[in-house]
Structure 1
Amino acid sequence: MSNKNTKMSLSKATNVAEEINNIDTTEKKANDKISSKKKNVPNFKILNLIKEQQQAQRDAELKADEEAKENQRLQEEYERKKQEELLLLEKKREKKREAKKKRIQRQKQEGLYLTKEQREKHHRAQIQFESLGIHVPPRTNVQQSGIQKRILYNDFQKTNSTCITTPSTEDENSEEENICNEDLVQTKDTLRAPVICVLGHVDAGKTTILDNLRRTHVQDNEAGGITQQMGATNVPLDTIVERTKMSRKLISRQGDFMIPGLLIIDTPGHAIFQNLRSRGSSLCDLAILVVDIMNGLQAQTIESIRLLIDRQTPFIIALNKIDLLYGWKSNKEKDVESVLEEQDSFTQDHFEKRYDEIIVQFAKQGLNVALYYKNPNPNEYYSMVPTSARSGDGMGSLIAMIIETSQTNLAKHLSYTNELQATVMEVKAIHGLGTTIDVALINGCLSVGDKIIVGGQEGPIVTQIRRLLIPESNQELRDTNQYENKDKVMGTCVVKIAAKDLEKSLAGLPLFIARTHDEIDYFKNEIELILTTVLNSFKLKESGVYIQASTLGSLEAFLELLKIQKIPCSGVNIGPVHRKDVLRASTQLENDIKWATILAFDVKIERDAQDYAKTMGVKIFQNDEIYNLCSMFVAYQNQLIKENQDKYRHLAVFPCKLKILPQNIFNSRDPIICGVRIEDGFIKIGTPICVPSKDGIDLGRIASIEMNHKSLDIARKGSEVCIKIVSTTNDTAKMYGRHFDKDDILMSKISRESIDIIKAYFRDELQESDWRLIIELKKIFNIV
């Protein structure tokens, strides 16, 4: 009985325990639900932050849309103004065309107008008549009121076709044409002086040839002995006659001279001065290509050939420096053909060898060349004249070939016209005259009192000619101080113009004459368009140096050199360095101190600009030789790099990957001395070493490097060296065999800071494979 009661008690106790467990389980589930509900309760602070962020994003988008609309409005306004300017310009051009059309109609009514075909017929007839000895009577002034007289052969007349008439009903333009034509009386005056350009390689003898022609020594005054700007020289007819007396047979028509002289432009010979040469060649009628007979065609020679071919400019080749031939005997009083025949056989052989090599070099450029006295067809072969600018051999023959080519092949092209064609070549301050401009006058005429328009630093300049100055014969305009005053000058010549407000005028741009307000506005727009087009063509960078040059051509040439040197440019200007230029350059201080630099080529620096540059921390380099100026900046750049390298070298970590040589373990704990093979990168003293495979434990820094018992500062990929690693922390020294072993690869411990320092100051010390290793290490060390 007692057992039965005991069993019943146990059964009840079990049931009670189960009910208690069920109750606990139910309460636990309820509590879990309550806690989960509490967890799902949102955090209102976070929601408010999210809302604020979304609102800020919407505000930023609205602001960006407004800015985009404003930029679009400004762009449309700019386009509208541009279209208005173009329409205004087109109206002015149309007005000019109408005026020209009316003038032609008036000339036709008066019987003064000649067609192009009639002018060509006259030119051919004139040459034929004179070759037969038939004299064409010159035009004479007939002072009969209301009566128009025309000279004989008027159907063939080219420039002299303008009839002499009392200018009672002519407008200002016709009066100016009659004034300019008063000097065109003799036959030779129907041709203008040809513009001769001299091109070739550096030190080929271009300026020396010009010195020989002028019998001056301009090269001594050049910066670095190399031409920096375009200089011009008037060579008169009497000089030509004297210099060609031994080679008169080369000039056809019984050695008669039809041209009044030569205008020679000395163009620079650098490869970098292509733009200056391009400007010179645009004025050029005939070129002298100077080739050093000892060196043949060189880089700038080939580039000059391409330039001349592209511009379809005829040229004569001066085979210069024949006095350097072995055993050469000079005789400048004879034609060079005769001088060559009088040379010894070994000298002639040397000449033939050099000559044949140069013929092959020209053939590779697709050109046929021949000695001028052996030229089978001048229309198919370029003539070569052996010369020596130093001894004078062949110079007379060269001048004679220039005259012959000008009077035959170029006679049509050299016909004088009244349309003004003039280019400002240089701006120069002259004591007693103030600021003047040197102008190459190709066609047309200039008179004292003419209103001229030239380009300026702050826009077109309108002024009036006060004085016209012509240099002495055979003197270069930029070098002589002896001038002759003229009331009127005609092309072709170089002339110095004195006028007001020329201080900020620019070289390299055309000069125009205006007689009415409409013409002034038209030519001002023309100059602005030319200058804007050129300046906008420069590809400037956000970070870079600031360039200041004396002329537009020099500026373009300088930028080309900087491009080759991989020096970026952030801003440009023409003329002296002013305070505003320093202010513009100072904006680069935010980017890099080395770019806060002004490179001033052939310009002066104003005193206030110098003081302001010192205050702002802007560096100014000034030089008259373009290559020296670049060298000065490169040296300054290297100096800054060296200073920064010394300053940050202790923070620079170079990439390396090392394989332990287990047979060369000399000390297993601090300092660890062991042999390693450099698998990749390179090591330097001070490089921190770690073991990435062992949680990146630091071993210390390399204290020394040895190879074959010789200490090294650096060891590169593939080398097997012994290194000593010294611990630099207070942690327990790491031990080879316990913390790492031969299977672990040792690496340099780089960081984001060390990578930035290497990029900024040690970039040149790394090879391409080193940069690839840096990328690999960035992934290993999780560097962003």
Structure 2
Amino acid sequence: MEALQILRSCRTPFVVAATKIDRIHGWRANTDQPFLVSFFHQNDRVKEIVETRLYEMVARLSDLGFSCERFDRVSDFQRNLAIVPVSAHTGEGIAELLMVMIGLAQRYMEQELALSVEGPGMGTVLEVKEERGLGTTLDVILYDGTLSIGDEIAFARNDGVAQTKVRSLLKPRPMKEILIEDRFERVKTVVAATGIKVSAPGLDGTIAGSPLRVIRGDPGPVMEQIQREMEEIKVNLSPEGLVIKADTIGALEAICNELETREIGVMRAEVGPVSRHDLVEVETIKSPYYRVLLAFNTQILPDAADMIKDPGFSHVRVFEGKVIYKIVEEYVTWKDEQKRRVEQQKFEQIITPAKIRVLPHCIFRQSNPAVVGIRVLGGTLRSDVNLIHVDGRKVGHLKSIQLNQENLREAQAGAEVAISIEGATYGRQFTVEDDLFVDIPERHVKVLEREMSPHLPISTQEILGEFTSLKRRSDPFWGK
């Protein structure tokens, strides 16, 4: 889901590989065969299962706004996504997957695929790694030109654009992983397009995802071009928002796009580890909901880790992980919970609307304080509030609420409870069948009407309306 959203936001063409067809019950494997050939040799029951699962996938993608079909049934690849059933285990369908990808690339990305092997090398840093015996190295995709040992190269670091001289080039041997040193072949020159590991001095702090260029002649224009590319990173920053640290530029853009769709601001987005300085800066953010740092797949430096563990440092929240949508979901869940708590605390401090009726045959004490039975007609009745008549006359102060000799903090609409009223005498300030309001201060009414009204139950809103109508008979602008 997350990958589809990123591809859509970046308007990137793609193909869907429906994997693990060999795991379908009854599937007869045909090693390295095209899907259509292998599918032809399956029995009718297996074919039906495959078709059913493909159409379930088509339906799910359609719900997300994508029009798609099995690759051999697609007539317009510009309007429809191609689904290629494959098995990485048996190799079935791999040939057709490559065929579709190569065909689409040649048809719709001809200009982007054009390259020259004679000019200076141009590439992208995929990963920055420490290698035993080599120090910091760069895994680079060279997509244009030539790169040789001894070439001056320009690249982006956390502290700006830098240049160095290539010390060695390590090319992965055929069918081997680039990440394993003993499987490298040392070469003097490589030409596009290829993956290569670059070893050179001064590579610490290189930004993964940034451009790498070979310098021929004046380094100034090359370094200025890299600087411009770094400044054109597609991240929309806001004057108010949270802070993001990630391991690559692509990750920054993906997280920012995800947050933008949720209307969450980003104040600062940088590639690199989380430092103490980052936490100090986050601590200065005014909004408690944005006093947050999202760390995606990046290191938290020891001084920052000690700061996070400090019990006295609780103003900043750090969310870290290696899956973008999980980090974002954790933050959104936390923010919603914080807002709920703040609203709850505010609600608990506000005197809420309530209307009660004094019940007959339930006068337990007439005064000092008066103890009577009542029914809550609407709203939420809480202790330590003042009561008034429906005509505005003062009654007294509701001290406590009891039910079955147990004290209650509040009573909801429909409840029948006993209350004690200080400063009131039965027969003078009130009598049976009297309806009474909780007397809400004017400043509380303003909060209730302006901020909390949507969160109040309908019955409570009706009681609030009756109470404010009573108060506004003499002063139309009361509580406004």
Do these two structures clear the TM 0.5 threshold for a shared fold by scoring above it? yes
Distance (Å, rounded) in 2 between the aligned partners of 1:574 and 1:410: 29
Is 1:558 paired with 2:255? Answer: yes
Letter in 1 for 2:167: R
Is 1:529 paired with 2:225? Answer: no
Q: What is the aligned length? A: 463
State the match for 1:608 in structure 2: 303
State the match for 2:374 in structure 1: 674
Q: Which moved more, 1:550-559 or 1:684-693?
A: 684-693
Distance (Å, rounded) in 2 between the aligned partners of 1:409 and 1:532: 28
Distance (Å, rounded) in 1 between the aligned partners of 2:159 and 2:122: 23
Distance (Å, rounded) in 1 between the aligned partners of 2:463 and 2:209: 52
Secondary structure class of the residue paired with 1:522: helix
1:572–1:663 Cα change, 3 Å:
farther
1:352: how far off? 3.7
Structure with the higher fraction of residues in strand conformation:
2
Matches within 5 A, 1:374-523: 384-402=83-101, 414=113, 416-418=115-117, 420-477=121-178, 482-517=183-218, 520-523=219-222
1:422–1:639 Cα change, 3 Å:
same
Matches within 5 A, 1:69-468: 201=1, 270-271=3-4, 274=6, 277=7, 303=8, 310=11, 313=13, 316-323=15-22, 325=24, 327-355=26-54, 369=69, 371-372=71-72, 384-402=83-101, 414=113, 416-418=115-117, 420-468=121-169
Q: Kindly provide the CA deviation profile for residues 410-441 of structure 1, in whole angstroms up to 9, marking residues without a partner as x.
A: 78875542454422222223233222222221
Aligned residue among 378, 397, 414 for 1:699:
397
State the match for 2:245 in structure 1: 548
Matches within 5 A, 1:637-716: 652-653=349-350, 655-658=352-355, 660=357, 670-678=370-378, 682-683=379-380, 686=383, 688=385, 690-691=387-388, 693-695=391-393, 697-700=395-398, 703-704=401-402
State the match for 1:539 in structure 2: 238
The answer to whether the 8 Å contact 1:664/1:674 transfers is no
Letter in 1 for 2:172: P
The answer to whether the 8 Å contact 1:653/1:687 transfers is no
CA RMSD of aligned residues (A): 4.8
1:575: how far off? 0.5
Is 1:624 paired with 2:315? Answer: no
Secondary structure class of the residue paired with 2:397: strand
1:547–1:754 Cα change, 3 Å:
farther
1:668–1:392 Cα change, 3 Å:
farther
State the match for 1:598 in structure 2: 293
1:674: how far off? 0.8
Is 1:724 paired with 2:418? Answer: yes
1:627: how far off? 4.2
Q: Structure 1: 5+ residue runs without aligned partners?
A: 1-200, 202-268, 278-302
Q: Kindly provide the CA deviation profile for residues 293-349 of structure 1, in whole angstroms up to 9, marking residues without a partner as x.
A: xxxxxxxxxx4xx86xx55x4x55534343454533333254433322222222223
- TM-score (normalised: structure 2): 0.75
Aligned residue among 273, 283, 286 for 1:586:
283
1:758: how far off? 13
Secondary structure class of the residue paired with 2:167: strand
The answer to whether the 8 Å contact 1:652/1:757 transfers is no
State the match for 1:571 in structure 2: 268
1:485: how far off? 1.9
State the match for 2:475 in structure 1: none
State the match for 1:733 in structure 2: 424
Q: Kindly provide the CA deviation profile for residues 548-589 of structure 1, in whole angstroms up to 9, marking residues without a partner as x.
A: 21222212222344455665544333211223223312213x
The answer to whether the 8 Å contact 2:401/2:410 transfers is no
1:375–1:759 Cα change, 3 Å:
closer
Letter in 1 for 2:97: L
The answer to whether the 8 Å contact 1:447/1:489 transfers is yes
1:660: how far off? 2.7
1:442: how far off? 1.5
1:584–1:450 Cα change, 3 Å:
same
Q: Structure 2: 5+ residue runs without aligned partners?
A: 473-477
1:505: how far off? 1.9
The answer to whether the 8 Å contact 2:35/2:85 transfers is yes
Distance (Å, rounded) in 2 between the aligned partners of 1:637 and 1:362: 30
Q: Kindly provide the CA deviation profile for residues 496-536 of structure 1, in whole angstroms up to 9, marking residues without a partner as x.
A: 2222222222122222222223xx22233223333334377
Secondary structure class of the residue paired with 1:605: coil
Distance (Å, rounded) in 1 between the aligned partners of 2:108 and 2:262: 42
Distance (Å, rounded) in 2 between the aligned partners of 1:767 and 1:623: 38
Letter in 2 for 1:506: I
Q: Kindly provide the CA deviation profile for residues 357-396 of structure 1, in whole angstroms up to 9, marking residues without a partner as x.
A: 6678889968574553x67798998765332335543234
The answer to whether the 8 Å contact 2:371/2:418 transfers is yes
The answer to whether the 8 Å contact 1:690/1:746 transfers is yes
Larger Rg: 1
1:594–1:536 Cα change, 3 Å:
closer
